[in-house]
Structure 1
Amino acid sequence: MNKQESDILNVILQYQYLNQRALAEQCGFSLGIVNRSVKSLQGQGLLTIEMELTPEAKIEMAKHHPKNAVILAAGYGMRMVPINMETPKGLLEINGEPLIERLIRQLHEVNVKEIYVVVGFMKEQYDYLVDQYGVKLIVNMDYAEKNNLHSLAKALPYLGETYIVPCDLWCRENLFSEYEWYSWYLVSDAKDPDSTVRINRKWELVPADEERTGNHMIGISYLTDAAAQTMAQRIEKMVPDRRYDHVFWEDALFVEQGMPVQAKTVPEGAVVEINTYEQLRELDENSDQLQSDAITEIEKALRVSREEITGIEVLKKGMTNRSFLFTCRGERYIMRIPGEGTSRLINRRQEAAVYQTLDGKDICDEIVSINPENGYKITKYLEHARVCDPADPEDVRACMKKLRAFHEAHLEVAHTFSLFGQIDYYESLWEGRRSVYRDYAATKMHVMELKTYLEQQPKVWTLTHIDAVPDNFLFTKESGATKIRLIDWEYAGMQDAHVDLAMFCIYAMYERPQVDALIDSYFTEGCPQEIRTKIYAYIAVCGLLWSNWCEYKSQLGVEFGEYSLKQYRYAKDYYKIVMRERAEQEK
């Protein structure tokens, strides 16, 4: 029995008697295909002349019940900013019903009760589903670093006669069935230039190419036991290979000729993927979840209605915050949302005071609004801007010229940034946990030895950026001229200006020759050796400072990979360099 014959049997089971023309409308097949298929089914003894299922057909259908379903719900849903700060996308509501509950209910309607939900981000919010619907939760703690191939890998023992379903879909009609005769993958009849598959004349999913645009891929699939086991073998080989960290689960379904499953199609709009704030608004403009704190902040700051806020796009997640781009009344803006644990790291009132001091000085980006209570900040978007390339000497020289001009303005605020005080403060946030570094006590003792030395050195005491890293220098085109804007002043305060040089170096993960080159770019007249040694000392101190900061963020589930290791090495290596330099100077 082929795909067309199987689909026709399912439709007849659902609607009872239908003539051939009505069958063609329900199945989406041509009348000629329906006529041939009906004749074949009658020849196989599965369909009567009166278009009714025979007892043999019912016996055969009983062998093809779906066994279970796996719902993939572990990811951040980063494109859902700002909602994803408050709600995982599987729990977004359309007409008062969470997406995942609608999917579970539709599965229950076809007697699929064994349902596994793979969770990760905000996993606790899904726990109620266990009691309410009898689902089983599978936890994927790699959700932050890897894509949903790794979520499906967690469910491999359960695959076979299985629906695979993303959690962020809203299906107008129930697409599941009590009987599934073959493996399939769901696409729509809409063309999608980003799709990797298209439907051929045999209802097969073959690779799309430049000449033939693919069909929009929806992500729902049904896999028979044989297809599931074959795919599981591929997943087991892919998971240990880091090349597959960021791929979708469908990559495991692909073979060279395409997907070895049949195409199942739905009309465009029959299934809506909720990936963005605006998609949610289009589907349910009265959704309570559109009332995000961030959107409310924009409404108040710009004095606009929610409907005027459009074009929302997620920007790269920063080390401290999340940001998104949006358009309002023809202008583009960036909204910054403070990240995990930042209320304990940053004094937002002090940050607001810094921006007040910078106002009108042509130093930073244009601030539209900053809320000193919650840290929400709106800035004008700088078109065609790029960050400094720390490997480009010309970029570095230009940034050091801008940085020195800022320092020589000798701006003042009422608060300081204490390097050694912050080292102790970040350590206190560990709340009694020991450092992950075995020799932390010795390393900290050495860094603290530098405190007396630094207190004795001459300083340029002024407003200092503190986070003057390459990513915070923006090259812009304004009125036909290139300008540099220094952004993100969260940590800024009164301090020795030369701390900013150390911060640039350690974020760029410079080796010593690059450090010296940067110092020379700042001190174009030449840098005295005692100042250079002082900057080395700041590198050691700031390395431990940000290493402690990384340890706290790690406890919140935020990892920084090589960056955190490198900061700790700066603390150790540059302490030794300072000791050698001072010994040489004392000879």
Structure 2
Amino acid sequence: MKRNEFHILNSFYNGSIGRGSCSYDLNCNKSLHDQEALNNLIKIGFVSQSDSKITELGIEALEPYRVNNAVILAAGASTRFMPLALEQPKGLFEVKGEKLIERQICQLQDAGIKNITIVLGYKKEMFYYLEDKYGVNFVINESFNIKNNIESLYLAKDKLRNTYICVSDSYFAENPFNQYEYQPFYAGMRVLEKTNEMYVDTDENERITLMEKNRKSGRVLLGHSFWTAEFSKAFIKLMEDDRKVGKYNHSFWEWMVKDNLNNLPPFYFKEYSSGNIYEFDYFEDLRKFDTQYLGHTHSEIIRNIKLVFRCDEEDIVNFRNVSEGMTNTSFVFEINGTDYIYRHPGDGTESIISRKNEKMSLIKAKEIGIDPTYIYADINEGWKISVFIPEFREPDYNSFEDSKKILEVLRRLHSSGIKLDYGMQPWEDALKMEELLREKSPNCFDEYEILKRKIGRLYKMTINDGVEKCFCHGDTYKPNWMIQPDGRVILIDWEYSGYSDPGIDVGYYIVDAMYDFDEAERFIKEYLQDRYTEKRFFHFMAYTAIIAYYWFVWALYRESCGAVMGEALMNWHEMAGKYVDYALNIEEND
């Protein structure tokens, strides 16, 4: 069947099932091309001339074009959509009285698409009610936080036939779905401004010939796409081949299409009018579309900010994502022209961090001028608000001048005279985290027993050696340091702070910098200055190993909670092993 014949016949079908009136009136003059196609459909008996309806024969002719199912991608965490995405997946946001994903499911079902699979990942449990309510199926993507949506499609590859590929956060003003589709396509529209979407060029038949980003205007891909069984089979082959190298692990699936337009069946652009398809990449986009989000977002995070600053919700604007840290997620917001940063606690941190203790440390650090950014911290839920510092740089591990700046602050912190009734005990704390790990997997720590025994032996050598406890930060790697343009240095993030051994602060900077022994010696001597003795030097070298071991065990625990620690875990393991052997060798040779 020719394309224009299909569209005419499908229009008659949609009219017959109540999806709007037929747009092809037999008594209306159409283009010569359309009229010829319509006459042919009447001639072969697909359309009845007497009552202007599709015939049974016409319905049979559409059958090869039947859409089998739909796959909705809903695994991502939508990290650009701060702060709402911290509380629930974007597909569950309510827009103009309807949850985004529920509106889309209903539109698919209204079009006759009953077989719907949703790929879940981030906060997946929040979607489970959809199974009972709509009869949908689920596929779980456990790698949603380390791979992009190509992984979701790969996990759903057995579902890919004549299939709609959708994203859970699309909002369609009018139902775009059909029981039948002629060819594979990606929906989109024309825009007159620069967007973050993928732009396309097409030939005279609307086949996509080029896809690229960063144009000032043009036609963009937006919303859903449709794959024929042929296209699905070809794309699955590309995904399976890529599993061997992982080139597209961190890419949206559109990039695989972009790079393989000549290796895939023809892929077409289906243009919709402006105002029919919406995707909300940022919270401000949603506020513009649905004004309820100006005054009442139903967000606990927005409520927290509102209460701290005694302001209205519409005063809180300009949300910007900050790269996720190892422990928490943060975002920047603006009130009355001033930027602040909100820290949202990571999953599992409540088991290893006392927010009450952290708050006391923040207050003390502000009093002595080491962290002037603190505004408020909640001891029950773990969230924190600070002043956002826009201009600063992190220290350079290879710059000894930067090291001097850092060490001057640490000496000031350690000599502040502040005494607290809590603090990090890296050896004892590591043992507690090991127990938490063994509760999940009894034998998971067996391979590290030799290292553990060495660290324990080294720790005993440092007890009562004359190095006094003091107010410590506990997490001195370079992302927690801010060197401002005027030379002032700020130390932020006090989750692991307290009354502890100063070796944890000096040692962890060495560990994260991965200094060799001579660099570590220079660093320790600069810290100690006229207090240097061989006994104190040994103490700080020993604590370099101890604190590396602590962070290694911490990383194992965080990964057991679903975090991805990457090479940091192995670096901490390497530094613990390297420095424990070095310190024990020092002691044996004395």
For normalisation by structure 1, the TM-score amounts to 0.89
> Take 1:511 and 1:51, find their aligned partners in 2: how far apart are those partners?
87
> Take 1:434 and 1:460, find their aligned partners in 2: how far apart are those partners?
36
SS at match of 2:437: coil
Q: CA offset at residue 181 of structure 1?
A: 1.0
User: Does structure 2 retain, via aligned residues, the 8 Å contact 1:208–1:214?
Assistant: no
> Take 1:327 and 1:366, find their aligned partners in 2: how far apart are those partners?
15
Structure 2 counterparts to residues 323-334 of structure 1, below 5 A: 323-334=330-341
Structure 2 counterparts to residues 293-308 of structure 1, below 5 A: 293-308=300-315
Q: CA offset at residue 580 of structure 1?
A: 0.6
Q: Counterpart of 2:18?
A: none
SS at match of 1:311: strand
Q: Counterpart of 2:577?
A: 572
> Take 1:494 and 1:317, find their aligned partners in 2: how far apart are those partners?
28
User: Does structure 2 retain, via aligned residues, the 8 Å contact 1:385–1:475?
Assistant: yes
Q: 1:273 to 1:18 in 2, by over 3 A?
A: closer
User: Does structure 2 retain, via aligned residues, the 8 Å contact 1:78–1:314?
Assistant: yes
Q: 1:314 to 1:251 in 2, by over 3 A?
A: same
> Take 1:149 and 1:80, find their aligned partners in 2: how far apart are those partners?
20
Q: 1:536 to 1:435 in 2, by over 3 A?
A: farther
> Take 1:97 and 1:508, find their aligned partners in 2: how far apart are those partners?
50
Q: Counterpart of 1:42?
A: 39
Letter paired with 2:548 = G
Q: CA offset at residue 315 of structure 1?
A: 1.0
> Take 1:553 and 1:472, find their aligned partners in 2: how far apart are those partners?
19
> Take 1:21 and 1:113, find their aligned partners in 2: how far apart are those partners?
32
Q: Counterpart of 1:205?
A: 208
Q: Counterpart of 1:28?
A: none
Q: How many residues align?
A: 574
Q: Counterpart of 1:246?
A: 250
User: Does structure 2 retain, via aligned residues, the 8 Å contact 1:11–1:23?
Assistant: no
1:267 aligns with 2:264: no
User: Identity, % of aligned pairs?
Assistant: 26
Q: Counterpart of 1:550?
A: 555
Q: CA offset at residue 575 of structure 1?
A: 2.0
SS at match of 1:254: helix
Residue 501 (structure 2) aligned to one of 496, 499, 502: 496
1:216 aligns with 2:216: no
> Take 2:451 and 2:466, find their aligned partners in 1: how far apart are those partners?
25
Residue 509 (structure 1) aligned to one of 506, 510, 514: 514
> Take 1:490 and 1:68, find their aligned partners in 2: how far apart are those partners?
48
Q: CA offset at residue 212 of structure 1?
A: 7.2
Residue 198 (structure 2) aligned to one of 196, 199, 221: 196
User: Does structure 2 retain, via aligned residues, the 8 Å contact 1:197–1:205?
Assistant: no
Q: Counterpart of 1:27?
A: none
> Take 1:325 and 1:22, find their aligned partners in 2: how far apart are those partners?
60
Q: Counterpart of 2:354?
A: 347
Where does structure 2 lack aligned partners over 5 or more consecutive residues?
A: 16-20
User: Does structure 1 retain, via aligned residues, the 8 Å contact 2:365–2:372?
Assistant: no
Q: 1:175 to 1:334 in 2, by over 3 A?
A: same
> Take 1:565 and 1:109, find their aligned partners in 2: how far apart are those partners?
52
Answer with 70-79 or 276-285: which moved more: 276-285
1:281 aligns with 2:311: no
Per-residue deviation, residues 24-61 of structure 1 (Å, max 9, x unmatched): 9xxxxxx8xx5433334434646688994664644322
Structure 2 counterparts to residues 21-420 of structure 1, below 5 A: 34-43=31-40, 45=43, 52=52, 55=55, 57-191=58-192, 192-200=194-202, 201-208=204-211, 213-255=217-259, 260-286=266-292, 290-420=297-427
> Take 1:22 and 1:247, find their aligned partners in 2: how far apart are those partners?
50
Letter paired with 1:470 = K
Letter paired with 2:209 = V
Q: CA offset at residue 382 of structure 1?
A: 0.6
1:446 aligns with 2:443: no
Q: CA offset at residue 561 of structure 1?
A: 2.0
Per-residue deviation, residues 172-196 of structure 1 (Å, max 9, x unmatched): 1111001111111011222445443
Q: CA offset at residue 156 of structure 1?
A: 1.2
RMSD: 2.9
Answer with 536-545 or 424-433: which moved more: 424-433
Q: CA offset at residue 93 of structure 1?
A: 2.0
Letter paired with 2:375 = V
Q: CA offset at residue 147 of structure 1?
A: 0.2
> Take 1:68 and 1:23, find their aligned partners in 2: how far apart are those partners?
35
Q: CA offset at residue 205 of structure 1?
A: 2.3
Where does structure 1 lack aligned partners over 5 or more consecutive residues?
A: 25-30
Q: 1:136 to 1:459 in 2, by over 3 A?
A: same
> Take 1:522 and 1:23, find their aligned partners in 2: how far apart are those partners?
89
> Take 1:495 and 1:82, find their aligned partners in 2: how far apart are those partners?
35
Q: 1:374 to 1:19 in 2, by over 3 A?
A: closer
